[in-house]
Structure 1
Amino acid sequence: MLDGNDPPFWRTKTLEQMGREEWEALCDGCGRCCLVKLEDEDTAEIYLTRLSCGMLDVRTCRCKDYPNRFLKMPDCLEIDIARARELSWLPKTCAYRIVGEGGDLPWWHPLVSGTPETVHQAGISVRSFAMSERRVKQENYWKYIIPDLPEEAERARPAAE
């Protein structure tokens, strides 16, 4: 949470200048990058589904075993600086994308609000619609394709208290 003294690291550093702890803190915990994606073999177009990686706890939008995710899920993709800059499916609300493009974090980001709950309250997280891929046969994944995720909340302001 902002305390009003020195500017926060995401305003003074590029993605390349951030340490590992800062990089990890930049993740807002929305779970959007953990959604199963399907690629059209003919067009290479990527489609998001409402299915999440089997390692994602949909209630908290956090990995069930983050330190061992690559061992347990070989297709898990680490979001590093290069990928943050090149992956077209990263949402506009992704802090890596926002900061990488020179923007500031929105009000609902936990580093700004001081609580991980605001990402859910703003409707940014997948908590309200995702379900584990483990509940669906792979040949049926296409039935769970969703249109683009809403981005409106990135500009929305919190309700007056």
Structure 2
Amino acid sequence: MYDNVFSLEQQLGRIRHRGDGRVQKVRREPEAEECADLVRWARRTTIAGIRVGDFLTHIPNEGKRGKKARADFHRLGGQPGYPDYLLDVARCGYYGLRIEAKAPTGGRITEDQRKWEVRLSGQGYLFAYCYSAEEMKGLIADYLKGHIEGPDSGGTAA
């Protein structure tokens, strides 16, 4: 009976075998799962003549890094808090869309992310925090269809 439970958990991806024969529980990464869902959708979706996957880019800004990787990240121009996704299509009076993906539960907004929100919004980009793949998909669809109200700054953006 217990073998079946173990096998079921293995199939669900909640545990894995380590190299030394021990079993380790796999840490879920709900934000990564939501983002992978977004990317799969983007690669097969066309809205208003735009194939979303051709213009959606992920910025690998998250995750834990070792000392050298962290130093390289900063040396090569990486900046903490920069949004996770860029959609470089001008619409609705904005130059493009910037999305900061957050975990569906417990995803908190950092001070660095707030700074980027202010900077990019001030330069004519639409900036949004999204807590699910469905929210990101809906925002992108509304943005590309022109269903987003433009900036109140007099319309200097494209």
Measured against the shorter chain, the TM-score band is: under 0.3
Point out the structure with max Rg over C-alpha. Answer: 2
**TM-score, reference length from structure 2:** 0.24
Which is bigger in relative contact order (C-alpha 8 A, separation at least 6)?
Answer: 1
Which structure shows the bigger proportion of residues in strand conformation?
Answer: 2
